[in-house]
Chain A
């Protein structure tokens, strides 16, 4: 999946500038950086929610995702075989709970009740399935939004701080679910996070944004533990401890 070089400005001020990037199927990319560094803007541009300067969408091309689960798991996935592959699915930072039950909210993304039940069970939402989405807590709404976006296979999954409102136990379950989804569909995942330990747990690669620019990009082992750029080193020293594996 290629995302073209993009630039985004608001009222003449550039908030994001990023070169063309290529993302490999089956890999999980953590997008990290301080507040206001352009992480969410990049996610929104990649998802096609906002247009880059001069108009047009940021995504230029994509290939059909290849399953990296190692044969049997992919072949046996009736769900993946029988469902139309979406190009990009995106979970925004503030997902909207529509005026209907939790289960209906999840089924909005696809009519597969079996899949919805499995996702609700994994995220411990089964007992709340009939409850109105507006009555859910912040964490429950985030879990519902995650389940909703995982209803269909896609070429690229973009998640903007998917677990920031969840407790630790739910966040771990969500991470597990994202991992399973990546293995099963072979898509690439771009997830924005403030939680460095989560980025280290989940990501195969990392992008570090600073002051609206992509500062560093590479395998997470390198970027999140032994970065080359001083900006990344300062950030890691402050938030997550440098070089601590």
Chain B
């Protein structure tokens, strides 16, 4: 085990090309999917939290249910939709990075919406009452609400990014874990472990844990600054 860790560190420091490609595909998939989920989820979360309309509760329940959707179920649905016989088969997206991004967006967006909705619904009545009292316009109230959400938006993004980088079920189903093409860190760890090649698996595990540690440090540091 000790020699495997030593070899893994040597591999990271040597700038291995295959490892570099896996990191690049992972970064492309996770950053893109988490950003798309954020841009779609934050406005929807604010509206869902601040706006009391008929059917709101039903939507909140759906979002909270989708938050717990197993990645393999998401992967399976995407696979069926984008396979040759599926309604979107003509786009030929299966086993590409793009379908991995789409699958992750489907998986992460409900998480972003539900997180922001929970925060906004707690402060919205007070913010709206104060804004109406000051004669502010609805768009000004919405901007103030968004300003109040800076920390939750930030922490939700990191949560979404962490979920996407650690996710394996959906991306392996729709991406196929093809070496040099759609292999991300999590699928690569599975692949190399199955092959008995622990060194690369441990190297990727170290990188994954380091990213997780970094994310947590950033959250902790920003928490104090932003949540004022």
1/0 per residue, CB under 8 A from B, across A142-166: the answer is 0001001100101000100000000
Which residues 166-188 of B sit at the A interface, judged by CB distance below 8 A?
Answer: none
**B132 close to A96 (CB less than 8 A):** no
Tell me whether A134 is interfacial, beta carbon within 8 Å.
yes
How extensive is the interface on chain B, given as a class?
A: 10 to 19
Q: Please, how many angstroms separate the alpha-carbon atoms of A135 and B228 in the complex?
A: 8
**B147 close to A134 (CB less than 8 A):** no
Given A98-B144, A98-B148, A99-B147, A152 contacting B135 (CB threshold 8 A): yes
**A49 close to B134 (CB less than 8 A):** no
Q: Please, how many angstroms separate the alpha-carbon atoms of A158 and B134 in the complex?
A: 11
**B144 close to A89 (CB less than 8 A):** no
A193 to chain B: closest CB distance in Å?
17
1/0 per residue, CB under 8 A from B, across A74-110: the answer is 0000000000001111111011101110000000110
Given A49-B129, A99-B228, A148 contacting B147 (CB threshold 8 A): no
**B136 close to A96 (CB less than 8 A):** no
**A-side interface mostly:** mixed
Total A-B pairs, Cβ < 8 A = 56
Tell me whether B150 is interfacial, beta carbon within 8 Å.
yes
Tell me whether B130 is interfacial, beta carbon within 8 Å.
yes
Tell me whether B133 is interfacial, beta carbon within 8 Å.
yes
CB neighbours (8 Å) of A95 from chain B are: 130, 133
Tell me whether B127 is interfacial, beta carbon within 8 Å.
yes
Given A98-B144, A98-B147, A109 contacting B228 (CB threshold 8 A): no
Tell me whether A125 is interfacial, beta carbon within 8 Å.
no
Tell me whether B62 is interfacial, beta carbon within 8 Å.
no
**B129 close to A108 (CB less than 8 A):** no
Q: Please, how many angstroms separate the alpha-carbon atoms of A92 and B132 in the complex?
A: 10
B127: nearest chain-A partner, CB-CB: A96
CB neighbours (8 Å) of B126 from chain A are: 92, 94, 96
Given A96-B123, A99-B228, A90 contacting B147 (CB threshold 8 A): no
B149 to chain A: closest CB distance in Å?
9
Select which of A86, A96, A100 is within 8 A of B135 by beta carbon: A86
A95: nearest chain-B partner, CB-CB: B130
CB neighbours (8 Å) of A99 from chain B are: 147-148, 150, 228
Tell me whether A48 is interfacial, beta carbon within 8 Å.
yes
Which residues 35-50 of A sit at the B interface, judged by CB distance below 8 A?
Answer: 44, 47-49
1/0 per residue, CB under 8 A from A, across B135-171: the answer is 1100000001001101000000000000000000000
Q: Please, how many angstroms separate the alpha-carbon atoms of A100 and B130 in the complex?
A: 15
B170 to chain A: closest CB distance in Å?
36
**B148 close to A90 (CB less than 8 A):** no
B123: nearest chain-A partner, CB-CB: A96
A152: nearest chain-B partner, CB-CB: B135
Select which of B123, B129, B133 is within 8 A of A89 by beta carbon: B133
CB neighbours (8 Å) of A200 from chain B are: none
Most buried by A among B126, B129, B133: B133
Q: Please, how many angstroms separate the alpha-carbon atoms of A148 and B150 in the complex?
A: 23
Q: Please, how many angstroms separate the alpha-carbon atoms of A22 and B126 in the complex?
A: 28
A109: nearest chain-B partner, CB-CB: B134
CB neighbours (8 Å) of B132 from chain A are: 47-49, 90
B121 to chain A: closest CB distance in Å?
15
Tell me whether A62 is interfacial, beta carbon within 8 Å.
no
Q: Please, how many angstroms separate the alpha-carbon atoms of A96 and B130 in the complex?
A: 6
Most buried by B among A95, A99, A132, A149: A99
Q: Please, how many angstroms separate the alpha-carbon atoms of A132 and B224 in the complex?
A: 13
- Chain B: residues with CB nearer than 8 A to chain A? 123, 126-130, 132-136, 144, 147-148, 150, 228
Other CB < 8 Å A-B pairs besides A90-B132, A108-B144, A149-B133, 15 of them? A47-B132, A47-B133, A88-B135, A89-B134, A89-B135, A91-B133, A92-B130, A94-B126, A95-B130, A95-B133, A98-B130, A98-B144, A100-B147, A132-B228, A152-B135
Q: Which 4 A-B pairs rank lowest in CB-CB distance, beginning with the nearest?
A: A90-B133, A96-B130, A96-B126, A86-B135
